[in-house]
């Protein structure tokens, strides 16, 4: 179970990300300092998943005071796609997960206004205790000295490899020269051919260290109005992008009240609209309220059948009610209204109940402050801001974020997301969790919450259990589900893919728990080489 903690606990997507947070906690920082410092390190050691050129969300639950949701996700440009249609740099690539493929669009025309830098400083000003330079020091040091790429990091680069070698700026950071061999021939000039960085290579990004050092001195204006922002705007103007100076200058972090609900005696705070991830998790939990057919056993036929039917109902409700098209303040009220929930719950009761690039950081400190921070760069646009080592996002090219189609987004609007950083509070203590994984975020977080609250699992067990995901009439199952549960799936789930092993496709839930007796648990998701530590 848990171990006694002196400072707190953290779970993240890389050991160095987690260690940064642990060091900051031990140095007197609170959970918010630790999460923000870890965010900076993640941009260095998890470059496929995190970048200052992207955006994200922080669910902050202070030990004293009301929880707050910091929205620093991407904003659509003020310009319309047709404003540079003839010259727009926007084209598809395919990410290869092995058992599945997914198409994304990249190029400078895929870049939305980024919020990560603004959110970092806004959250620090509101909640931080230590100086910003102290939070950035570990990331700057790692960027300068480098670190050895793990098998998982190499796998990620392999999934989205074309993005990280598509431009000269990207190749300068993410490609290495290999000596000629039987497998790798020399280039035409006789020099070793370039290849994408891989397992065992030392990855360094000193430009990012210089950029962070400048940020410490100049603050976010460097990125939104100063030299870096001006370079982004000039390159977009000349290179087929949509961002202009007004987009960067007008960007602001938005602080919202979380979406809250009570489920099985746990008070849950998750990401509110305009993002839909938290909303769909809350909707699914409402459908599961009162379900008693699982007989207390994970993997019972009724458990798997109920889960996938709830996923299907959430998909139908999202399409039919079209919450993305509604005003944010109406969205939760409509989507969680008793009439709508009852209609879908009744539809479930009519049948027998027997038978993406994203990373997350969870931190809780000994005082009871809780921080759940989810960060994404999409897959990256391929464009690296010269002199910064920062690859910009491709949010305008993400199908999951643009469910009604590319280039039909409203101008100058905060984009929604499936990201759902979440904090739970019940009689046993605090739980902090969230996930990467594109459209699979909502089902990953949902299943872990159910594992914790309905089945009483430890953090490690709740994260490690096999997962299911149902979308667009197709069911994906990780190995490990009992045969009787799979055999008992009802009609409508025949289009199924049984994965040979657990995979990052199903998300990466990094979670910490702090019990009332001062013991803590930390679980990093093995699907994404996550790492947890208690300090």
Helix, strand, coil percent content, the chain, rounded in steps of 5: 40, 25, 40
Q: Are strands 91-96 and 390-391 parallel, antiparallel or unpaired?
A: unpaired
Angle between helices 116-127 and 132-145 (to 10 degrees): 140
CA distance 395 to 112: 6
Q: Does 367 lie in the same domain as 245?
A: yes
Q: Tell me whether residue 313 is in a domain.
A: yes
480: Cα separation from own chain's centroid: 25
Catalytic entry in 113, 358, 359, 422 = 358
In sequence order, what DSSP letters do the residues of 185-217 get, joined into one string?
A: PPPTTSSPPEEE--TTPEE--HHHHHHHHHHHH
**346 shares its domain with 364:** no
CA distance 435 to 446: 10
Q: What is the pLDDT along the chain (535 residues), one digit of tens a residue?
A: 689 999 999 999 999 999 999 999 999 999 999 999 999 999 999 999 999 999 999 999 999 999 999 999 999 999 987 776 667 899 988 877 665 677 789 999 999 999 999 999 999 999 999 999 999 999 999 999 999 999 999 988 988 888 999 999 999 999 998 654 434 433 344 455 589 999 999 999 999 999 999 999 999 999 999 999 999 999 999 999 999 999 999 999 999 999 999 998 999 999 988 888 888 899 899 889 877 667 678 999 999 999 999 999 888 776 655 544 445 455 555 555 665 455 444 444 433 222 257 999 999 999 999 999 999 998 899 999 999 999 999 999 876 555 566 777 788 988 888 899 999 999 999 999 999 988 899 999 999 999 999 999 999 999 999 999 999 899 999 999 999 999 999 999 999 999 999 988 899 999 999 999 999 999 999 999 999 999 9
Give me the CATH number covering residue 476.
3.60.20.40
Same domain, 511 and 368: no
Residues 227 and 117 in one domain: yes
Residue 488 bridge partners (DSSP): none
270 and 148 in a common domain: no
Q: What is the DSSP letter of 14?
A: S
Q: How far apart are CA 82 and CA 343, in angstroms?
A: 41
Q: Is residue 151 part of a domain?
A: yes
The pLDDT, as a whole number, for residue 404 is: 61
| Distance of alpha carbon 19 from alpha carbon 1, whole angstroms | 21
Whether residues 128 and 138 share a domain: the answer is yes
The yes-or-no answer on residue 358 being catalytic is yes
Helix (H) or strand (E) holding 417: none
In what helix (H) or strand (E) does residue 335 lie, and over which residues does it extend?
A: helix 328-335
Q: Are residues 127 and 244 in the same domain?
A: yes
Q: pLDDT value at position 386?
A: 98
> DSSP string covering 306-331, please?
HHHHHHHHHHHHHHHH-GGGS-HHHH
- Around Cβ 244, how many Cβ atoms within 10 Å? 17
Residue 212 in domain? yes
426 and 392 share one domain: no
Asked, for residue 172, whether it belongs to a domain, the answer is yes
Instruction: Among 347, 373, 401, identify where a domain stops.
Output: 401
Contact 404, 324 (CB under 8 A): yes
Range of the domain at 271: 260-359+418-534
Total domain count, the chain: 2
Question: Any idea what the Cα angle at residue 188 is, between residues 187 and 190, rounded to 5°?
Answer: 70
Q: Where are the alpha helices (DSSP H) in 6-165?
A: 15-26, 31-45, 116-127, 132-145, 151-159
Nearest CA to 7 among 522, 510, 526?
522
Q: Give the separation between CA 265 and CA 277, rounded to whole angstroms.
A: 22
At 338, list the tokens.
Answer: 């008793």
Question: Residue 20, exposed/middle/buried by CB under 10 A (0-12, 13-18, 19+)?
Answer: buried
Rounded distance between C-alpha atoms, residue 276 and residue 160, angstroms: 25
Question: Taking Cα atoms as reference points, which of 460, 464, 436 lies closest to residue 533?
Answer: 460
Domain boundary among 401, 426, 451: 401
DSSP annotation of 377 reads B
With beta carbons less than 8 A apart as the criterion, state whether 89 and 109 touch.
yes
N- to C-terminal Cα separation, the chain: 15
Q: Does 306 share its domain with 332?
A: yes
Go through the chain and tell me how many residues it has.
535
Separation between Cα atoms, residue 290 and residue 305, nearest integer Å:
16
Name the CA radius of gyration of the chain, rounded.
22
192 domain residue, yes or no: yes
Same domain, 247 and 149: yes
Helices 338-349 and 301-321, axial angle in degrees (round to 10) = 140
Whether 150 and 280 share a structural domain: no
Is the bond preceding 408 in cis, omega lying within 30 degrees of 0?
no
Question: Does a structural domain hold residue 410?
Answer: no
Place of tokens 């646009």: 381
Q: Would you say residue 408 lies in a domain?
A: no
Say if 140 falls within a structural domain: yes
Are 244 and 375 found together in one domain? Answer: yes
Query: What is the model's pLDDT at position 505?
Result: 87
CA–CA dist 442, 157 (Å, integer): 24
Point out the domain boundary residue: 376, 401, 426: 401
Residue 398 buriedness (CB in 10 A; 0-12 / 13-18 / 19+): buried
Pick from 500, 508, 62: nearest CA to 269: 62
């Amino acid at each position: 179970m848990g171990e006694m903690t002196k400072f707190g606990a953290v779970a993240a997507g890389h050991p160095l990300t987690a260690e940064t947070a642990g060091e900051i906690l031990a140095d007197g920082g609170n959970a918010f300092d630790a999460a923000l410092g870890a965010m900076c390190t993640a941009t260095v050691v998890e470059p496929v998943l995190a970048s200052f050129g992207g955006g994200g969300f922080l669910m902050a639950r202070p030990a004293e005071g009301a929880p707050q949701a910091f929205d620093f996700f991407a904003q659509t440009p003020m310009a319309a796609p047709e404003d540079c249609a003839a010259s727009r740099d926007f084209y598809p690539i395919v990410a290869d997960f092995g058992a599945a493929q997914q198409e994304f669009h990249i190029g400078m025309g895929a870049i939305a206004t980024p919020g990560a830098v603004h959110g970092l400083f806004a959250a620090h000003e509101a909640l931080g205790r230590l100086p910003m330079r102290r939070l950035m020091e570990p990331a700057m040091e790692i960027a300068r000295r480098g670190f050895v790429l793990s098998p998982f990091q190499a796998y990620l680069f392999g999934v989205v490899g074309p993005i990280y070698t598509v431009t000269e700026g990207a190749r300068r950071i993410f490609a290495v020269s290999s000596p000629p061999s039987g497998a790798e021939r020399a280039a035409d000039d006789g020099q070793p051919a370039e290849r994408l960085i891989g397992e065992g290579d030392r990855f360094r990004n000193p430009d990012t260290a210089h950029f962070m050092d400048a940020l410490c001195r100049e603050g976010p204006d460097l990125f939104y109005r100063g030299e870096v922002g001006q370079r982004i705007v000039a390159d977009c103007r000349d290179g087929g992008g949509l961002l202009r100076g007004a987009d960067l200058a007008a960007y602001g972090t938005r602080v919202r009240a979380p979406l809250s609900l009570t489920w099985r005696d746990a008070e849950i705070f998750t990401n509110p609209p305009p993002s839909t991830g938290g909303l769909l998790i809350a909707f699914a939990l409402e459908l599961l309220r009162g379900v008693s057919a699982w007989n207390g056993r994970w993997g019972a036929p009724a458990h798997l059948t109920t889960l996938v039917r709830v996923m299907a109902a959430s998909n139908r409700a999202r399409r039919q009610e079209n919450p993305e098209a509604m005003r944010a303040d109406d969205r939760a009220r409509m989507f969680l209204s008793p009439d709508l929930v009852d209609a879908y719950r009744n539809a479930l009761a009519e049948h027998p109940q027997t038978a993406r690039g994203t990373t997350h950081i969870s931190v809780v400190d000994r005082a009871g402050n809780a921080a759940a921070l989810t960060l994404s760069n999409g897959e990256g646009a391929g464009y690296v801001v010269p002199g910064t080592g920062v690859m910009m996002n491709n949010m305008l090219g993400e199908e999951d974020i643009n469910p009604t189609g590319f280039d039909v987004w409203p101008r100058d609007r905060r984009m929604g997301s499936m990201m759902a950083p979440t904090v739970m509070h019940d009689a046993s203590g605090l739980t902090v969790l969230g996930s990467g994984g594109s459209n699979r975020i909502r089902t990953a977080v949902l299943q872990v919450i159910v594992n914790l609250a309905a089945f009483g699992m430890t953090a490690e067990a709740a994260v490690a259990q096999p997962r299911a995901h149902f979308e667009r009439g197709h069911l994906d199952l990780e190995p490990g589900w009992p045969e009787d549960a799979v055999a008992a799936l009802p009609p409508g789930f025949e289009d199924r893919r049984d994965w040979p092993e657990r995979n990052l496709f199903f998300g990466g839930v990094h979670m910490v728990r702090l019990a009332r007796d001062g013991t803590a648990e930390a679980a990093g998701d093995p699907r994404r080489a996550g790492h947890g530590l208690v300090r």
